[in-house]
Structure 1
Amino acid sequence: MVVLGLAALGISYGDIGTSPLYALRECFRGANHLTPSDANVLGILSLIFWALILVVSTKYMLFVTRANNNGEGGMLALVALLNPWRKNAGPHSKWLLRLGIFGTALLYGSFMLTPAISVSSAVEGLNVATTVFEPYVIPITIAILVALFAIQSRGTETVGRFFGPVMVVWFTTLASLGIYGIVQEPGVLAAVNPLRAIEFFSINHWTGFVVLGAVFLVVTGGEAMYADMGHFGRRPIQLAWFGLVLPALLLNYYGQGAILIHSQGQSASQPFYNLAPHWALYPLVGLATIATVIASQAVISGAFSLTRQAVQLGQLPPMRLFQTSSEEYGQIYVPTLNWLLMLATIGLVLGFRTSTNLAWAYGVGISFAMTITTVLAFFIMRERWEWPLWVAGPMTVAFLLVDLPFFGANLLKVPHGGWFPVLTAVAMFTLMSTWQRGRELLSRRLMHDEKQEEDNADESAPLEAFVRELADSETIRVEGTAIFLTGSDAGTLPMLHHHLQHNHVLHERVLLLTVRTEDAPRVPAAERLEIDDLGQGVYRVIVHYGFMQTPNVPVAVRFAERFGLEVDMEQVTFYIGRATIIPTDEVPGMMLWREKLFAFMARNAIQPTSYYKVPPQRVIELGLRVEI
């Protein structure tokens, strides 16, 4: 438990753990126009305290983490837990699926913003010591980011061993600096009283509501923590939070507040770095930079993991990914996403220039995602846990009473930079929904074409009839095994018909193999295969994988020996259909521009040979032209 909790510090808490660098500072900067008076400082600290208690400690730690899909957390795992794809799903399932996909799309904006704002705020600490480095803050930030993304292909297996201990040093430093500040102004502890927050709103009115957008920055890592739960388990995540992270964060925020009061607001520009003695400033900047790199690494790894889930659940096209660790399943590398994130992050640093400007772009997507999590959790309570409405309803309302004000305050950031995560989310949602809808149309069209062939052949039970016909026919059977990869586990394959029509031969053993992604994160090896002997050397094989697993067809076929189906991989030929998609207005489907987008995504998706780890030298592709 302790070891896992230590590891969780380095992976799950980097984002929320680096928020003290900028969160309290942004409450008194920018367009907020809030003066750092004693009453305002105490009010802000009270809001920070109760935000961490209500949002992270209560909502996520004690409640939402219960809604895990076989131990996995995150938006897509939550959607999979609701299983909106099931046949008997209610009428609300479709919009719940769309809501979950949009919530996932919102997280991609934070994947770009977190490295930019974290590293920028750390490097800007150099300006507190001297103005010499001021012209070099942006170049240094970009250099760190380029180096960070450049090493992703090597994985985090080695570096990850040091993440936990380094973050222990970081959180210990946060707590020590906080205690140092509180000793100078002990009266700051009065901010624990929630009446200070109420008094803050009574004094500042609309400005107080606007400042909620900056206060929200203290909880922005809550969703990332929930998404990383599958790596460590619920209990270690809770142990790390309540045992070290929460106390360290509260002490540091209150220490910063104490410095603001003690200096009569003169430290408002950099309250975090002004906590440190002058001799410790440069070491603190170095430690903060390392901590932000770790936070950025955790976010990038989370982006890779989320993308794999989206691909496995059919929400994104297949793309090339690499497992970078033989021991840690969660450590993967997605080249295309890595370089896109790097370009976007560098573009944000160059475009927004300072961490203060980036803070105005940060929070909109996360606050909306947290609200969506609450809505999905309500349906989990009702449908999965079967809680009565009089229990689930008030609990959901209580969470929304916290989520919605934060979301509303963050919406005010849209004209000042908050448009970026919204634009990113809309773009990602368009891609994901277009890919999902396009796959449905493609599957429907293929089934329609297949049904026409079956009707022409007057076959009532296509697959069984095909096997009976094979027994009576004079089809030449050749040595070896033919494996036809298919997306459907019913009926015969159009490409199998095409193969027989053109070649007039068939291998002595034929496997109709379907890879099915389940709504569980992982499927045990013992439950991987489902084999049905149809006779005449024809087998229906269904390979089950979880949405957190990477399919490997050759390994699965070798595993079939345990079920009595021996396949010599040296004499196997894989048949894979490649559909050329023709967008057209003549066939009912999507708008023409979305059909063209789907066709473009399909052309650029990784081919099945790579995605399913099929040896390319043993593959024959059969082309089909499909109008959608």
Structure 2
Amino acid sequence: MSDHKNINSLSAGGLLISLGIVYGDIGTSPLYTLRAIFNTVSDSGQPITPLLVLGALSCIIWTLTLQTTIKYVVITLRADNRGEGGIFSLYSLVRKKAKWLVIPAVIGGCALLADGIITPSITVTSAIEGLQVKFPSLQIIPIVLTIIIFLFVIQQFGTSLVGKLFGPIMFLWFATLGVLGLLYIVHDYSVLKALNPYYAVQLISTNPMALVILGGVFLCTTGAEALYSDLGHCGRKNIRISWIFVKITLILNYLGQGAWLLAHPNYNDKLNPFYQLVPHQYLLPLVALATVAAVIASQAMITGSFTLISEAVRLNLWPKVKINYPSNQKGQIYVPSINWLLCAGCIIVVLIFKRSIDMEGAYGLAINLTFLATTILVAVFMRVKKVPTYIVVLFLTIYGLLELAFLVGNMTKFFHGGFVTVLIGSLLFTVMWGWYAARKIKNRFVKYVEIDDYYQIISELSDDETVAKYSSQLVYLTSANFKTEIESKIMYSILQKEPKRADIYWLVHVDVVDEPFCREYKVEFLIPGKLIRIDFKLGFREEQRVNLLFRKVVEELVKNGEVDITSQYKSLNRHKIAGDFRFVLLEKHLSKFAKLSFYERTVMHYYFVLKRLSLSEERSFGLDSSYVEIEKVPLIFVTPDDIELSRLPV
């Protein structure tokens, strides 16, 4: 618990760390936001007028205020799950309220992952494009791809070392943004009028291209979700205080770009207003700094994707995948399959779109869906916390309308690249939904029996020397939540499949709880010395190493004299040698006789394909394969009663 308090306390180090971890994505948005807006405007032939510039800037400033400051920094950061944030942490807090809440959680999670593919592509490309200001004929794609591949290759070594450098570099980046903006604001103070929301309202109500402009404006807030996702790494107070500095420097930079646009109404898409603010002699150092900031933004997105997937696995929303822990730092994880999936996605996006200005269409749409999903889940969380109904309705109305307006704006980019994000997000959605739905179908067919009906026969089998001993200690993983029940398939495996005699039968149950870090267990002696059940309660961020956890509990029980695991073979018993352990895993398959609807059959077939691609049960539970027996059982038993048969007379 001390660690938790530590993280949440306000400190200079904590502020610096939050600058490095949290704000990479939102901090690099000045590289492309204004260019995206005015590129679409100039393409349509609409002149760049002071009213248009002030209106767009006002939209940006008020989006940062309403969306990032009020929704995320003030409201959503309150929804912490024992110090952890992120869409799945939020879902864990409210999932008992209604079953349908899994839908926004899954959509939000998939959209965040899709965003993890677009973010590195667009930020690194925008940064490197600054070189073309000085070297117009330079081919930047090879440079961009080299940086992106390098970024994904270093993930496996852990990022704690680089992480220490992130804070100071991002501090320098934000300070530079603020100074560059100020240099131009002093030339034209009229740009400060944009702080007045009147100009935003006027632009939205009178400009025929308002929705398209909103699609571009939305890019200024794309990193807001990271403020909540990284709550566990930085703590609420550090994020709230550092955001003040970040927001001021971002607004100064946008106002500076606005002042440059007011002075250069003949803007064309060959120019990026951001790089036009930079004195010529400082261009190369700034491109270098922008590139490092882009890499940091991408790093935060990738780390976020790893955390997201590891939580999804524990919450049974994603197939079991290999998760590595490259360093001892809390929260440092590496998921190889997701790393290379994101890497391939980034390379494809860069090769398809080539210029950052063409990627802007694909960007924004995904994160917009995450924002909407978060709004729904936060509203439910407010109800859980007994917030007055009128405040919840107000929150839902304001953010529902605001985000739907952005969604419509972003949909105008659908055919200009937006479809790529939707396609990636949809593919990820089928995986999450298929895995979740298949589990629901499977659970419907799991038949439980009363375990105490079998106490006598288990005791007798354990002592029956006419049956060859299968193992001294026999362990089954059970999904029965109550100690009074057991799956009928486990009893079938012990008594009928091949009668399995053992000195002690163990039942192990793992329950993933709604808090992030929890490691507790409970032991029930169902038949003293013969049948023992262990229940583990593990947090959704804990690694499920059942093998080690089980061994630890058995050692405790032996030490306390509660159980004797000495081998019962006379020769071994004489020398006090421990008996052997064997795990039996029951692997379900779909028999061709199973009565399922077309939808259910499709889901189950997809599930078995995903299962083949994912980690095996024994590896996902951290079991040693030399002690594991896999027994195949049909998902649905077809009984002779289901078959009609007529006997012919002889």
Q: TM-score, normalised by structure 2?
A: 0.88
Residue 541 of structure 1 pairs with residue 541 of structure 2: no
Which structure has the larger Rg over C-alpha atoms? 2
Aligned residue in 2 for 1:20: 30
Please state whether the residue corresponding to 1:153 is helix, strand or coil. Answer: helix
Aligned residue in 1 for 2:571: none
Check whether the contact 1:551–1:613 (CA below 8 A) recurs between aligned residues: yes
Residue 501 of structure 1 pairs with residue 493 of structure 2: no
Check whether the contact 2:513–2:537 (CA below 8 A) recurs between aligned residues: yes
Please state whether the residue corresponding to 1:532 is helix, strand or coil. Answer: strand
Residue 223 of structure 1 pairs with residue 225 of structure 2: yes
Aligned residue in 2 for 1:437: 437
In structure 1, which of residues 163, 167, 185 is the aligned counterpart of residue 166 of structure 2?
Answer: 163
Gap runs ≥5 in structure 2: 1-9, 567-577, 638-650
Separation of aligned partners in 1, 2:24 and 2:125 = 15
Aligned residue in 1 for 2:264: 263
Partner amino acid, structure 1, of 2:136: T
How many residue pairs get aligned? The number is: 600
Residue 351 of structure 1 pairs with residue 361 of structure 2: no
Shift of 1:196: 1.8
Shift of the 420–475 alpha-carbon distance from structure 1 to 2, 3 Å rule, reads: farther
What are the superposed Cα offsets for residues 498-529 of structure 1, whole Å, 9 maximum, x if unpaired?
Answer: 24435434332221001111122221x3xx10
Shift of the 503–209 alpha-carbon distance from structure 1 to 2, 3 Å rule, reads: closer
What are the superposed Cα offsets for residues 204-228 of structure 1, whole Å, 9 maximum, x if unpaired?
Answer: 2x21221000000000001122112
Residue 618 of structure 1 pairs with residue 630 of structure 2: no
Aligned residue in 1 for 2:3: none
Separation of aligned partners in 2, 1:271 and 1:148 = 27
Residue 492 of structure 1 pairs with residue 462 of structure 2: no
Aligned residue in 2 for 1:254: 255
Aligned residue in 2 for 1:48: 60
Aligned residue in 2 for 1:339: 340
Q: TM-score, normalised by structure 1?
A: 0.91
Shift of 1:588: 4.2
Instruction: Give the aligned CA root-mean-square deviation in angstroms.
Output: 2.2
Shift of 1:375: 1.8
Separation of aligned partners in 2, 1:570 and 1:340 = 44
Aligned residue in 2 for 1:283: 285
Aligned residue in 2 for 1:105: 110
Aligned residue in 2 for 1:241: 243
Shift of the 351–228 alpha-carbon distance from structure 1 to 2, 3 Å rule, reads: same
Aligned residue in 1 for 2:523: 531
Shift of 1:575: 1.8
Shift of the 583–66 alpha-carbon distance from structure 1 to 2, 3 Å rule, reads: farther
Residue 603 of structure 1 pairs with residue 606 of structure 2: no
User: For structure 1, which segment, 141-150 or 370-379, has the greater mean C-alpha deviation from structure 2 after superposition?
Assistant: 370-379
Shift of the 116–396 alpha-carbon distance from structure 1 to 2, 3 Å rule, reads: same
Separation of aligned partners in 1, 2:596 and 2:212 = 50
Aligned residue in 2 for 1:69: 81
Partner amino acid, structure 2, of 1:27: I
What are the superposed Cα offsets for residues 35-76 of structure 1, whole Å, 9 maximum, x if unpaired?
Answer: 332221111111111111111011110001112222222221
Partner amino acid, structure 2, of 1:509: I
What are the superposed Cα offsets for residues 277-329 of structure 1, whole Å, 9 maximum, x if unpaired?
Answer: 1011011111111111111111011111101111110011111110112122x
Partner amino acid, structure 1, of 2:372: T
Separation of aligned partners in 2, 1:591 and 1:551 = 29
Partner amino acid, structure 1, of 2:93: L
What are the superposed Cα offsets for residues 320-342 of structure 1, whole Å, 9 maximum, x if unpaired?
Answer: 110112122x2211111111111
In structure 2, which of residues 445, 448, 473 is the aligned counterpart of residue 481 of structure 1?
Answer: 473
Please state whether the residue corresponding to 2:422 is helix, strand or coil. Answer: helix
Aligned residue in 1 for 2:402: 402
User: For structure 1, which segment, 174-183 or 577-586, has the greater mean C-alpha deviation from structure 2 after superposition?
Assistant: 577-586
Shift of the 285–49 alpha-carbon distance from structure 1 to 2, 3 Å rule, reads: same
Shift of the 51–570 alpha-carbon distance from structure 1 to 2, 3 Å rule, reads: farther
What are the superposed Cα offsets for residues 365-423 of structure 1, whole Å, 9 maximum, x if unpaired?
Answer: 211221221122222112x1112322221232122232221122112111221112222
What are the superposed Cα offsets for residues 515-565 of structure 1, whole Å, 9 maximum, x if unpaired?
Answer: 111122221x3xx10211112421111111111111111332244244645
Aligned residue in 2 for 1:464: 452
Check whether the contact 1:109–1:420 (CA below 8 A) recurs between aligned residues: no
In structure 1, which of residues 123, 126, 134 is the aligned counterpart of residue 128 of structure 2?
Answer: 123
Equivalences for residues 573-584 of structure 1 within 5 A = 573-582=582-591
Shift of 1:232: 1.8
Aligned residue in 2 for 1:457: none
Shift of the 583–162 alpha-carbon distance from structure 1 to 2, 3 Å rule, reads: farther
Please state whether the residue corresponding to 2:599 is helix, strand or coil. Answer: coil
Equivalences for residues 378-389 of structure 1 within 5 A = 378-382=379-383, 384-389=384-389
Identity of aligned residues (%): 33
Partner amino acid, structure 1, of 2:241: L
Aligned residue in 1 for 2:421: 421
Check whether the contact 1:42–1:188 (CA below 8 A) recurs between aligned residues: yes
Check whether the contact 2:459–2:530 (CA below 8 A) recurs between aligned residues: no
Separation of aligned partners in 1, 2:496 and 2:206 = 82
Shift of 1:480: 3.7
Aligned residue in 2 for 1:557: 550
Check whether the contact 1:123–1:137 (CA below 8 A) recurs between aligned residues: yes
Separation of aligned partners in 2, 1:520 and 1:582 = 37
